[in-house]
Amino acid sequence: MDHRGTTAWVNLSAIRSNYRRLAELAKGSAVCPVIKADAYGHGALAVAHALEREGAPYCAVALAKEALELRESGVHMPILVFGVPEHSWSSLAIRLGCAQTIYTEEHVRILASAAKSVGKRAKAHIKVDTGMNRQGLSPTKARAFAGLLADYPEIVVEGIYSHFADADSPDPTFTNLQIERFTAALAEFMQAGIVPKYRHIANSAGLLFHPDSRLDMVRPGILLYGLSPAPGLGLPDGFEPALTLTTSIVHIKEVPAGESISYGRIFTTKRRSRIGLLPIGYADGYPRALSNRATVLIRGMRAPVVGRVCMDMTMVDLTGIPGARAGDEVVVFGGKNLPVSEIADLLSTIDYEVVCMISKRVPRVHIDESSQED
Protein backbone atom coordinates (compact mmCIF):
# COMPACT_ATOMS: atom_id res chain seq x y z
CA MET A 1 0.00 0.00 0.00
CA ASP A 2 1.36 3.48 -0.71
CA HIS A 3 1.84 6.10 1.99
CA ARG A 4 -1.30 7.97 0.96
CA GLY A 5 -3.47 4.95 1.57
CA THR A 6 -4.95 5.24 -1.91
CA THR A 7 -5.02 1.68 -3.16
CA ALA A 8 -6.83 -0.53 -5.66
CA TRP A 9 -7.43 -3.84 -3.89
CA VAL A 10 -7.83 -6.71 -6.30
CA ASN A 11 -9.30 -9.92 -4.99
CA LEU A 12 -7.72 -12.70 -7.03
CA SER A 13 -9.96 -15.29 -5.41
CA ALA A 14 -12.91 -13.44 -6.97
CA ILE A 15 -11.19 -13.42 -10.35
CA ARG A 16 -10.48 -17.14 -10.09
CA SER A 17 -14.03 -17.86 -9.06
CA ASN A 18 -15.38 -15.68 -11.91
CA TYR A 19 -13.11 -17.59 -14.28
CA ARG A 20 -14.56 -20.90 -13.08
CA ARG A 21 -18.09 -19.55 -13.60
CA LEU A 22 -17.13 -18.49 -17.14
CA ALA A 23 -15.75 -21.96 -17.80
CA GLU A 24 -19.07 -23.45 -16.62
CA LEU A 25 -20.99 -21.16 -18.99
CA ALA A 26 -18.58 -21.98 -21.82
CA LYS A 27 -19.65 -25.62 -21.56
CA GLY A 28 -16.48 -27.15 -22.89
CA SER A 29 -15.33 -24.45 -25.26
CA ALA A 30 -11.91 -23.05 -24.32
CA VAL A 31 -11.96 -19.86 -22.23
CA CYS A 32 -9.54 -17.17 -23.38
CA PRO A 33 -9.77 -14.46 -20.70
CA VAL A 34 -9.11 -10.98 -22.04
CA ILE A 35 -6.45 -9.29 -19.93
CA LYS A 36 -5.54 -6.34 -22.16
CA ALA A 37 -5.11 -2.84 -20.74
CA ASP A 38 -3.47 -4.22 -17.61
CA ALA A 39 -6.38 -6.62 -17.11
CA TYR A 40 -8.90 -3.78 -17.32
CA GLY A 41 -6.90 -1.92 -14.68
CA HIS A 42 -6.71 -4.91 -12.31
CA GLY A 43 -3.00 -5.67 -12.85
CA ALA A 44 -2.36 -8.08 -15.71
CA LEU A 45 0.62 -9.93 -14.27
CA ALA A 46 -1.06 -11.04 -11.06
CA VAL A 47 -4.31 -11.78 -12.90
CA ALA A 48 -2.51 -13.86 -15.55
CA HIS A 49 -0.67 -15.91 -12.93
CA ALA A 50 -3.92 -16.53 -11.06
CA LEU A 51 -5.60 -17.64 -14.30
CA GLU A 52 -2.72 -19.87 -15.20
CA ARG A 53 -3.09 -21.58 -11.83
CA GLU A 54 -6.77 -22.09 -12.67
CA GLY A 55 -5.71 -23.83 -15.87
CA ALA A 56 -6.78 -21.15 -18.38
CA PRO A 57 -5.80 -22.52 -21.79
CA TYR A 58 -5.26 -19.14 -23.45
CA CYS A 59 -5.40 -15.40 -22.82
CA ALA A 60 -5.64 -12.31 -25.00
CA VAL A 61 -4.07 -8.87 -24.94
CA ALA A 62 -4.24 -5.85 -27.24
CA LEU A 63 -0.53 -5.21 -27.76
CA ALA A 64 2.60 -7.26 -28.32
CA LYS A 65 4.17 -5.12 -25.58
CA GLU A 66 1.54 -6.43 -23.14
CA ALA A 67 2.38 -9.99 -24.19
CA LEU A 68 6.08 -9.29 -23.60
CA GLU A 69 5.37 -8.08 -20.07
CA LEU A 70 3.43 -11.27 -19.36
CA ARG A 71 6.18 -13.52 -20.70
CA GLU A 72 8.85 -11.59 -18.78
CA SER A 73 6.91 -12.23 -15.60
CA GLY A 74 6.87 -15.97 -16.29
CA VAL A 75 3.45 -16.46 -17.89
CA HIS A 76 3.61 -19.53 -20.14
CA MET A 77 0.06 -19.93 -21.45
CA PRO A 78 -0.67 -19.19 -25.12
CA ILE A 79 -1.37 -15.52 -25.80
CA LEU A 80 -3.33 -13.93 -28.64
CA VAL A 81 -2.52 -10.35 -29.59
CA PHE A 82 -5.60 -8.52 -30.92
CA GLY A 83 -3.83 -5.46 -32.34
CA VAL A 84 -2.55 -5.17 -35.90
CA PRO A 85 0.89 -6.70 -36.43
CA GLU A 86 3.77 -4.26 -36.81
CA HIS A 87 7.22 -4.91 -38.24
CA SER A 88 8.91 -3.79 -35.06
CA TRP A 89 7.00 -6.18 -32.76
CA SER A 90 6.07 -9.11 -34.95
CA SER A 91 9.31 -11.08 -34.66
CA LEU A 92 9.27 -10.61 -30.92
CA ALA A 93 5.70 -11.94 -30.76
CA ILE A 94 6.84 -15.02 -32.71
CA ARG A 95 9.81 -15.54 -30.42
CA LEU A 96 7.47 -15.30 -27.44
CA GLY A 97 5.23 -17.94 -29.02
CA CYS A 98 2.26 -15.55 -29.28
CA ALA A 99 -0.45 -15.71 -31.91
CA GLN A 100 -1.03 -12.56 -33.93
CA THR A 101 -4.12 -11.14 -35.60
CA ILE A 102 -4.05 -10.88 -39.39
CA TYR A 103 -6.54 -9.73 -42.01
CA THR A 104 -4.66 -7.88 -44.75
CA GLU A 105 -2.00 -8.79 -47.28
CA GLU A 106 0.38 -6.48 -45.46
CA HIS A 107 -0.14 -8.38 -42.19
CA VAL A 108 0.62 -11.61 -43.99
CA ARG A 109 3.84 -10.19 -45.38
CA ILE A 110 4.87 -8.80 -41.99
CA LEU A 111 4.33 -12.15 -40.27
CA ALA A 112 6.03 -14.14 -43.04
CA SER A 113 9.14 -11.97 -43.05
CA ALA A 114 9.26 -11.94 -39.23
CA ALA A 115 8.89 -15.75 -39.21
CA LYS A 116 11.80 -16.07 -41.66
CA SER A 117 13.99 -13.79 -39.59
CA VAL A 118 13.23 -15.71 -36.39
CA GLY A 119 13.43 -19.12 -38.06
CA LYS A 120 10.10 -20.20 -36.57
CA ARG A 121 6.57 -20.37 -38.01
CA ALA A 122 4.21 -17.58 -37.03
CA LYS A 123 0.92 -18.42 -35.32
CA ALA A 124 -1.99 -16.38 -36.64
CA HIS A 125 -5.67 -15.85 -35.97
CA ILE A 126 -7.54 -14.40 -38.95
CA LYS A 127 -9.98 -11.68 -37.95
CA VAL A 128 -13.22 -11.42 -39.89
CA ASP A 129 -15.31 -8.26 -39.77
CA THR A 130 -18.90 -9.38 -39.39
CA GLY A 131 -20.40 -5.98 -38.58
CA MET A 132 -18.31 -4.14 -36.03
CA ASN A 133 -16.59 -2.30 -38.90
CA ARG A 134 -13.47 -1.78 -36.88
CA GLN A 135 -10.97 -4.49 -37.72
CA GLY A 136 -11.07 -7.54 -39.90
CA LEU A 137 -11.46 -9.05 -43.32
CA SER A 138 -14.71 -8.75 -45.18
CA PRO A 139 -16.38 -12.21 -45.24
CA THR A 140 -16.60 -11.91 -49.03
CA LYS A 141 -12.78 -11.92 -49.17
CA ALA A 142 -12.36 -15.16 -47.20
CA ARG A 143 -11.58 -17.30 -50.27
CA ALA A 144 -9.08 -14.85 -51.71
CA PHE A 145 -7.34 -14.50 -48.33
CA ALA A 146 -7.12 -18.27 -47.98
CA GLY A 147 -5.58 -18.37 -51.48
CA LEU A 148 -3.00 -15.77 -50.47
CA LEU A 149 -2.08 -17.68 -47.30
CA ALA A 150 -1.41 -20.80 -49.35
CA ASP A 151 1.74 -19.05 -50.62
CA TYR A 152 3.04 -18.48 -47.09
CA PRO A 153 3.89 -21.73 -45.35
CA GLU A 154 5.65 -19.69 -42.64
CA ILE A 155 2.21 -18.85 -41.25
CA VAL A 156 0.12 -21.35 -39.30
CA VAL A 157 -3.53 -20.37 -39.00
CA GLU A 158 -4.45 -21.44 -35.50
CA GLY A 159 -7.67 -19.46 -35.26
CA ILE A 160 -10.34 -17.51 -37.07
CA TYR A 161 -12.30 -14.96 -35.10
CA SER A 162 -14.69 -12.06 -35.15
CA HIS A 163 -16.10 -9.64 -32.58
CA PHE A 164 -19.66 -8.74 -31.58
CA ALA A 165 -20.82 -5.14 -31.76
CA ASP A 166 -24.07 -5.43 -29.82
CA ALA A 167 -24.30 -8.75 -27.99
CA ASP A 168 -25.64 -7.11 -24.81
CA SER A 169 -28.67 -5.71 -26.66
CA PRO A 170 -32.10 -7.14 -25.80
CA ASP A 171 -32.67 -7.33 -29.55
CA PRO A 172 -30.67 -10.31 -30.83
CA THR A 173 -31.13 -9.52 -34.54
CA PHE A 174 -27.75 -7.95 -35.26
CA THR A 175 -25.82 -10.49 -33.21
CA ASN A 176 -27.57 -13.31 -35.04
CA LEU A 177 -26.61 -11.67 -38.33
CA GLN A 178 -22.98 -11.50 -37.18
CA ILE A 179 -23.08 -15.19 -36.26
CA GLU A 180 -24.53 -15.99 -39.70
CA ARG A 181 -21.85 -13.97 -41.49
CA PHE A 182 -19.14 -15.58 -39.41
CA THR A 183 -20.46 -19.07 -40.07
CA ALA A 184 -20.49 -18.35 -43.80
CA ALA A 185 -16.92 -17.04 -43.72
CA LEU A 186 -15.77 -20.10 -41.75
CA ALA A 187 -17.36 -22.35 -44.37
CA GLU A 188 -15.44 -20.50 -47.11
CA PHE A 189 -12.17 -20.91 -45.24
CA MET A 190 -12.85 -24.59 -44.65
CA GLN A 191 -13.63 -25.18 -48.32
CA ALA A 192 -10.33 -23.51 -49.12
CA GLY A 193 -8.57 -25.95 -46.79
CA ILE A 194 -8.14 -23.72 -43.73
CA VAL A 195 -9.50 -25.58 -40.71
CA PRO A 196 -8.36 -23.76 -37.57
CA LYS A 197 -8.17 -25.20 -34.09
CA TYR A 198 -10.08 -22.24 -32.64
CA ARG A 199 -13.10 -20.49 -34.10
CA HIS A 200 -14.21 -17.72 -31.75
CA ILE A 201 -16.53 -14.73 -31.60
CA ALA A 202 -18.13 -14.55 -28.12
CA ASN A 203 -17.25 -11.79 -25.65
CA SER A 204 -18.85 -11.73 -22.18
CA ALA A 205 -22.28 -10.68 -23.45
CA GLY A 206 -22.10 -13.21 -26.29
CA LEU A 207 -21.30 -15.97 -23.83
CA LEU A 208 -24.20 -14.92 -21.59
CA PHE A 209 -26.91 -14.26 -24.14
CA HIS A 210 -25.94 -16.19 -27.27
CA PRO A 211 -24.96 -19.72 -26.31
CA ASP A 212 -24.84 -20.66 -30.01
CA SER A 213 -21.84 -18.33 -30.37
CA ARG A 214 -19.56 -20.35 -28.07
CA LEU A 215 -17.83 -22.37 -30.83
CA ASP A 216 -14.30 -23.63 -29.94
CA MET A 217 -13.27 -20.70 -27.79
CA VAL A 218 -14.83 -17.71 -25.98
CA ARG A 219 -13.13 -14.42 -25.09
CA PRO A 220 -14.75 -12.89 -22.02
CA GLY A 221 -13.21 -9.82 -20.42
CA ILE A 222 -15.50 -7.74 -18.26
CA LEU A 223 -17.23 -10.64 -16.47
CA LEU A 224 -13.88 -12.00 -15.36
CA TYR A 225 -13.57 -8.88 -13.22
CA GLY A 226 -17.10 -9.22 -11.85
CA LEU A 227 -18.36 -6.19 -13.75
CA SER A 228 -21.34 -5.82 -16.01
CA PRO A 229 -21.09 -5.83 -19.83
CA ALA A 230 -23.62 -3.02 -20.19
CA PRO A 231 -25.29 -0.25 -18.18
CA GLY A 232 -28.47 -1.34 -16.46
CA LEU A 233 -27.76 -5.02 -17.03
CA GLY A 234 -26.63 -5.80 -13.49
CA LEU A 235 -24.16 -8.51 -12.62
CA PRO A 236 -25.29 -12.03 -13.48
CA ASP A 237 -25.49 -14.63 -10.70
CA GLY A 238 -22.30 -16.31 -9.69
CA PHE A 239 -19.97 -13.37 -10.42
CA GLU A 240 -18.24 -11.21 -7.86
CA PRO A 241 -16.64 -7.77 -8.32
CA ALA A 242 -12.88 -8.11 -7.86
CA LEU A 243 -11.70 -4.53 -7.41
CA THR A 244 -12.22 -2.00 -4.63
CA LEU A 245 -10.59 1.41 -4.76
CA THR A 246 -9.99 2.81 -1.29
CA THR A 247 -8.30 5.78 0.27
CA SER A 248 -8.31 7.30 3.73
CA ILE A 249 -9.23 10.56 5.42
CA VAL A 250 -5.99 12.45 5.87
CA HIS A 251 -7.36 15.61 7.46
CA ILE A 252 -10.64 17.00 8.75
CA LYS A 253 -11.50 20.69 8.65
CA GLU A 254 -14.32 22.37 10.58
CA VAL A 255 -15.87 24.88 8.19
CA PRO A 256 -18.58 27.44 9.08
CA ALA A 257 -21.77 27.80 7.04
CA GLY A 258 -21.46 29.91 3.90
CA GLU A 259 -17.90 28.88 3.00
CA SER A 260 -17.05 27.65 -0.47
CA ILE A 261 -14.99 24.50 -1.02
CA SER A 262 -12.32 23.88 -3.68
CA TYR A 263 -11.67 25.39 -7.13
CA GLY A 264 -14.37 27.36 -8.86
CA ARG A 265 -16.44 27.61 -5.64
CA ILE A 266 -19.19 25.32 -6.95
CA PHE A 267 -20.12 24.15 -3.43
CA THR A 268 -20.99 26.32 -0.43
CA THR A 269 -21.61 24.89 3.03
CA LYS A 270 -25.18 25.34 4.23
CA ARG A 271 -24.32 24.59 7.87
CA ARG A 272 -21.27 24.25 10.01
CA SER A 273 -19.56 21.28 8.33
CA ARG A 274 -16.80 18.77 8.84
CA ILE A 275 -14.94 18.50 5.57
CA GLY A 276 -12.70 15.49 5.04
CA LEU A 277 -9.67 15.61 2.78
CA LEU A 278 -9.03 12.52 0.66
CA PRO A 279 -5.69 11.98 -1.08
CA ILE A 280 -7.18 11.00 -4.42
CA GLY A 281 -7.96 13.09 -7.47
CA TYR A 282 -8.36 13.03 -11.20
CA ALA A 283 -4.67 12.14 -11.66
CA ASP A 284 -5.53 8.87 -9.90
CA GLY A 285 -8.50 8.19 -12.17
CA TYR A 286 -11.20 9.78 -10.03
CA PRO A 287 -12.62 12.14 -12.64
CA ARG A 288 -13.37 15.79 -12.11
CA ALA A 289 -16.83 15.17 -13.57
CA LEU A 290 -17.68 13.52 -10.21
CA SER A 291 -17.37 16.90 -8.45
CA ASN A 292 -20.48 17.57 -6.31
CA ARG A 293 -22.01 14.34 -7.67
CA ALA A 294 -20.45 11.17 -6.30
CA THR A 295 -20.47 9.80 -2.78
CA VAL A 296 -17.92 7.67 -0.97
CA LEU A 297 -18.38 5.11 1.81
CA ILE A 298 -17.04 5.76 5.27
CA ARG A 299 -17.99 3.60 8.27
CA GLY A 300 -20.70 2.08 6.09
CA MET A 301 -22.29 5.49 5.42
CA ARG A 302 -22.34 7.72 2.38
CA ALA A 303 -20.36 10.96 2.36
CA PRO A 304 -20.94 13.30 -0.59
CA VAL A 305 -18.07 14.70 -2.63
CA VAL A 306 -18.20 18.47 -2.18
CA GLY A 307 -16.68 20.96 -4.57
CA ARG A 308 -14.38 20.21 -7.46
CA VAL A 309 -12.30 17.06 -7.49
CA CYS A 310 -8.70 18.32 -7.77
CA MET A 311 -5.73 16.62 -9.42
CA ASP A 312 -4.55 14.89 -6.24
CA MET A 313 -7.24 15.62 -3.67
CA THR A 314 -10.97 15.44 -3.11
CA MET A 315 -13.12 16.83 -0.32
CA VAL A 316 -16.10 15.05 1.20
CA ASP A 317 -18.73 16.21 3.67
CA LEU A 318 -18.43 14.22 6.89
CA THR A 319 -21.04 16.16 8.84
CA GLY A 320 -23.51 13.27 8.59
CA ILE A 321 -20.95 10.77 9.91
CA PRO A 322 -20.24 12.03 13.41
CA GLY A 323 -17.65 9.42 14.38
CA ALA A 324 -15.53 9.95 11.24
CA ARG A 325 -11.88 10.60 12.00
CA ALA A 326 -8.60 11.12 10.21
CA GLY A 327 -7.23 7.69 9.29
CA ASP A 328 -10.64 6.17 8.52
CA GLU A 329 -10.79 3.99 5.45
CA VAL A 330 -12.82 5.37 2.56
CA VAL A 331 -14.30 3.21 -0.18
CA VAL A 332 -14.13 5.29 -3.34
CA PHE A 333 -15.77 2.68 -5.53
CA GLY A 334 -15.91 -1.03 -6.20
CA GLY A 335 -17.12 -4.07 -4.34
CA LYS A 336 -20.79 -4.66 -3.67
CA ASN A 337 -21.67 -1.60 -1.59
CA LEU A 338 -20.49 1.09 -3.96
CA PRO A 339 -20.49 -0.66 -7.31
CA VAL A 340 -18.38 0.55 -10.21
CA SER A 341 -21.63 0.79 -12.19
CA GLU A 342 -22.80 3.62 -9.90
CA ILE A 343 -19.77 5.70 -10.90
CA ALA A 344 -20.17 4.63 -14.55
CA ASP A 345 -23.79 5.87 -14.48
CA LEU A 346 -22.76 9.23 -13.00
CA LEU A 347 -20.20 9.61 -15.77
CA SER A 348 -22.53 8.31 -18.51
CA THR A 349 -20.04 5.63 -19.32
CA ILE A 350 -19.52 1.90 -18.85
CA ASP A 351 -17.86 -0.12 -16.09
CA TYR A 352 -14.93 -0.85 -18.46
CA GLU A 353 -13.87 2.78 -18.61
CA VAL A 354 -14.10 3.41 -14.87
CA VAL A 355 -11.65 0.63 -13.97
CA CYS A 356 -9.36 1.39 -16.91
CA MET A 357 -9.10 4.99 -15.71
CA ILE A 358 -7.43 4.12 -12.39
CA SER A 359 -4.01 5.53 -13.07
CA LYS A 360 -0.57 3.99 -12.74
CA ARG A 361 0.30 5.83 -9.57
CA VAL A 362 -2.40 3.94 -7.66
CA PRO A 363 -0.84 0.73 -6.35
CA ARG A 364 -2.74 -2.48 -7.08
CA VAL A 365 -2.61 -4.81 -4.12
CA HIS A 366 -3.59 -8.36 -4.97
CA ILE A 367 -5.16 -10.54 -2.36
CA ASP A 368 -5.63 -14.22 -2.84
CA GLU A 369 -7.24 -16.19 -0.04
CA SER A 370 -5.23 -19.24 -1.00
CA SER A 371 -1.80 -17.63 -1.26
CA GLN A 372 -1.62 -14.05 0.18
CA GLU A 373 0.47 -12.17 -2.36
CA ASP A 374 0.88 -8.76 -3.84
Residue from the set 229, 241, 279, 335 that interacts with ligand PLP by CB under 6 A: 229
Helix 44-54 to helix 64-72 angle, to the nearest 10 degrees? 70
Is residue 253 part of the annotated active site? The answer reads no
- Give the containing element (helix H, strand E) for 203: none
Nearest to ligand PLP of 51, 294 (CB atom): 51
Q: Is the dihedral of CA 159, 162, 168, 169 positive or negative?
A: negative
- Give the containing element (helix H, strand E) for 233: none
Is residue 182 at the binding interface for ligand PLP, with CB under 6 A as the rule? no
Nearest to ligand PLP of 124, 313 (CB atom): 124
Task: Report the site for ligand PLP in 79-138 (rule: CB under 6 A).
Answer: 82
Q: Which of 293, 291, 343, 297 is nearest to 321 (CA)?
A: 297
Is residue 36 part of the annotated active site? The answer reads yes
Is residue 199 at the binding interface for ligand PLP, with CB under 6 A as the rule? no
Q: How far is the CB of 125 from ligand PLP (least distance, A)?
A: 10
Cα-trace Rg, the chain: 24
Task: For the chain, report the end-to-end CA distance as a whole number of angstroms.
Answer: 10
Is residue 64 at the binding interface for ligand PLP, with CB under 6 A as the rule? no
- The full DSSP string for 126-172 is EEB-SS--SSSB-GGGHHHHHHHHTT-TTEEEEEEE---SSTTSS--
Q: How far is the CB of 237 from ligand PLP (least distance, A)?
A: 17
Task: Report the site for ligand PLP in 148-167 (rule: CB under 6 A).
Answer: 163
Is residue 333 at the binding interface for ligand PLP, with CB under 6 A as the rule? no
For 148, counting Cβ atoms within 10 Å of its Cβ (0-12 exposed, 13-18 middle, 19+ buried), the class is: middle
Is residue 221 at the binding interface for ligand PLP, with CB under 6 A as the rule? yes
Nearest to ligand PLP of 238, 304 (CB atom): 238
Catalytic choice (65, 197, 263, 336): 263
Query: Are 67 and 79 within 8 A, CB to CB?
Result: yes
Name the segment binding ligand PLP (CB under 6 A); options: 102-110, 219-227, 263-271, 332-340. 219-227
Residues that bind ligand PLP (CB under 6 A): 34, 82, 163, 203-205, 219-222, 229
**Catalytic (active-site) positions:** 36, 263
